Structure 1
Amino acid sequence: MADLQEEPEAGPSVGAPETVPGPVLAGALERAAALLAEHPVADGCNTLVWTLRQKPYHDTDTDIPRLLRSGAVGAQFWSLLTPVTGDRVVADTLEQIDVAHELLGRYPDELLVALTAGDLADARNRGRIASFLGPVPGSTLTDSLGTLRAFHTLGVRSLAPAGAAWAQEGLTPFGHEVVREMNRLAMVVDLTACPPDAAIEITESSRAPVMISHTAAAALTRHPLNVPDEVLLAVRAAGGVCMVTFSAEQTGDSLHAVADHLDHIRSVAGPESVGLGACFGADPPHGHPAGLGDPSGYPRLIAELLDRGWPEPDLALLTWDNAARVLRDVEFTSRAAHHRKP
Structure 2
Amino acid sequence: MKGRFGPLTVVLVLCSWVVTRAGDDRVHDRLAVVRRLLEEVPLIDGHNDLPWNIRKYVRNQLQDFHFSEDLRQTEPWARSVWSHTDLFRLQQGMVGAQFWSAYAPCSSQYLDSVQLTLEQIDVIRRLIAQYPQHMQFVTTADEVVEAHRARKLASLIGVEGGHAIGTSLAVLRVLYRLGARYLTLTHTCSTPWADCSNVDAPGQIPDHGGLTDFGKAVVLEMNRLGMMVDLSHVSILTMLDVLQVTKAPVIFSHSAAHALCNSSRNVPDHVLRLVAQNRGIVMVAFYTYFVSCNDTATIRDVVAHINHIRDVAGADHVGIGAGYDGINLTPQGLEDVSGYPRLFAELLASKRWTEHDLKKLAGLNLLRVMKDVEQVRDNMRQSGVQPSEDLIPAHDLYGKTYCRFPET
TM-score, normalised by the number of residues in structure 2: 0.75
How many Å apart are 1:129 and its aligned residue?
1.2
- Structure 1 Cα separation of the partners of residues 27 and 164 of structure 2: 48
- Structure 1 Cα separation of the partners of residues 147 and 141 of structure 2: 10
Letter in 2 for 1:302: F
Letter in 2 for 1:202: V
Alignment of 1:45-194 (within 5 A): 45-56=47-58, 58-59=76-77, 60-68=83-91, 70-83=92-105, 84-86=107-109, 87-162=111-186, 163-168=190-195, 169-194=209-234
Does the 8 Å contact 2:113/2:166 carry over to 1? no
2:381 paired residue number:
338
Does the 8 Å contact 1:204/1:238 carry over to 2? no
User: What SS does the aligned partner of 1:189 have?
Assistant: strand
How many Å apart are 1:26 and its aligned residue?
2.8
Alignment of 1:304-315 (within 5 A): 304-309=346-351, 310-315=353-358
1:240 aligns with 2:280: yes
1:202 paired residue number:
242
Sequence identity, in percent? 40
Alignment of 1:193-272 (within 5 A): 193-252=233-292, 253-272=297-316
- Structure 2 Cα separation of the partners of residues 27 and 95 of structure 1: 45
How many Å apart are 1:266 and its aligned residue?
0.5
**Which of the pair has more CA radius of gyration?**
2
Does the 8 Å contact 1:77/1:135 carry over to 2? no
How many Å apart are 1:164 and its aligned residue?
2.0
How many Å apart are 1:135 and its aligned residue?
2.3
- Structure 2 Cα separation of the partners of residues 32 and 246 of structure 1: 20
Does the 8 Å contact 2:117/2:159 carry over to 1? no
How many Å apart are 1:333 and its aligned residue?
0.4
Q: Which runs of 5+ in 1 are unaligned?
A: 1-21
User: What SS does the aligned partner of 1:157 have?
Assistant: strand
Greater mean deviation of Cα atoms: 46-55 or 143-152: 143-152
Distance 1:98 1:228, change over 3 A: same
1:41 aligns with 2:43: yes
Cα deviations by residue, 1:117-160 (Å, 9 ceiling, x for unpaired): 12111111111111111124212335431110111121111111
What is the total number of aligned residue pairs between the two structures?
Answer: 318
Q: Which runs of 5+ in 2 are unaligned?
A: 1-22, 59-64, 66-75, 78-82, 196-208, 386-408
User: What SS does the aligned partner of 1:280 have?
Assistant: coil
Greater mean deviation of Cα atoms: 266-275 or 131-140: 131-140
- Structure 2 Cα separation of the partners of residues 307 and 250 of structure 1: 24
Greater mean deviation of Cα atoms: 34-43 or 299-308: 34-43
Q: Using CA pairs under 8 Å that are at least 6 residues apart, name the structure with larger relative contact order, 1 or 2.
A: 1
2:16 paired residue number:
none
- Structure 2 Cα separation of the partners of residues 112 and 257 of structure 1: 33
Does the 8 Å contact 2:95/2:153 carry over to 1? yes
Letter in 2 for 1:166: W
Greater mean deviation of Cα atoms: 304-313 or 83-92: 83-92
How many Å apart are 1:274 and its aligned residue?
0.1
2:339 paired residue number:
297
Does the 8 Å contact 1:246/1:279 carry over to 2? yes
How many Å apart are 1:64 and its aligned residue?
1.0
Letter in 1 for 2:224: R
- Structure 1 Cα separation of the partners of residues 269 and 176 of structure 2: 32
TM-score, normalised by the number of residues in structure 1: 0.89
Letter in 2 for 1:111: M
How many Å apart are 1:106 and its aligned residue?
0.9
Could you list the structure 1 runs, at least 4 aligned residues long, displaced by more than 4 angstroms after superposition: none
2:321 paired residue number:
277
